[in-house]
A and B are shown apart, each in its own frame.
Chain A
Amino acid sequence: EVQLVESGGGLVQPGGSLRLSCSASGFTFSSYAMHWVRQAPGKGLEYVSAISSNGGSTYYADSVKGRFTISRDNSKNTLYLQMSSLRAEDTAVYYCVKDISPGIAAAGTFDYWGQGTLVTVSS
């Protein structure tokens, strides 16, 4: 059974930093691109970032580019999102998401989602 378990969320002041982690199990983690998607309270889904299966390629939405860094450790089956220069508008539930197709590149369809971790940016 595929499981994605996020951790690391919490309350942080504007301008602060936070690192999210996602522990994956139930599939060959190193074979799949992975993604982060967020959802502000009461709002829709917003795509955040992607990383290829080998970590060699990354993508960021314009809203987080230059502030967030996605990475992965395939030996630990773990995905990360380092967030810095946080703003109030970054407040959201952050979901760790698995890509549907094995391979280096991201197919861009999301077949398994974690339960999410809440990040609140406030003074």
Chain B
Amino acid sequence: EIVLTQSPATLSLSPGERATLSCRASQSVSSYLAWYQQKPGQAPRLLIYDASNRATGIPARFSGSGSGTDFTLTISSLEPEDFAVYYCQQRSNWLFTFGPGTKVDIK
């Protein structure tokens, strides 16, 4: 099983700041990595798929990069609605796993 590690566990930032979230895989997942956002009491929402493709309706301030084992989600300038938990997820031969999440909270 491929294990995903996310860092940091919590990121405390102010609106307008840049957020950089990391996801590392225990072995290569090529570009088969997605990012999801989850707010309290809500279902997760797909942000980025295949490492760098924004999902439908996702603002341009969200971007993804990386391949192999190291991936990054960047939020260029945090809006109030971006404070949430972010999960990475890999897809490899029907063996799908999620990372433990990074919480982005207001400083």
- Residues of chain A touching chain B, judged by Cβ–Cβ distance below 8 Å, are 35, 37, 44-47, 50, 59, 62, 95, 100, 105-111, 113-116
Contact = CB atoms under 8 A, between A and B. Distances in A.
Contacts of B34: 109-110
Contacts of A108: 32, 91-92, 94, 96
30 contacts: A35-B96, A44-B98, A44-B99, A44-B100, A44-B101, A45-B36, A45-B38, A45-B44, A45-B89, A45-B98, A45-B101, A47-B89, A47-B96, A47-B97, A47-B98, A50-B94, A59-B95, A62-B1, A95-B43, A95-B44, A100-B46, A106-B91, A108-B32, A110-B36, A110-B89, A111-B46, A111-B49, A111-B55, A114-B43, A115-B42
A contacts with B: majority SS: strand
B71 interface: no
Contacts of A47: 89, 96-98
Nearest to A101: B49
Contacts of A95: 43-44
Nearest to A45: B98
Interface of B: 1, 32, 34, 36, 38, 42-46, 49-50, 55-56, 87, 89, 91-92, 94-101
Nearest to A4: B43
A115 B100 contact: no
Interface class of chain B by DSSP: loop
A44 B87 contact: yes
Which among A46, A100, A114, A115 has the greatest number of chain B C-beta atoms within 10 A?
A100
A6 B26 CA distance: 33
A110 B50 CA distance: 11
A54 to B, nearest CB: 15
A47 B99 CA distance: 11
B98 A109 contact: no
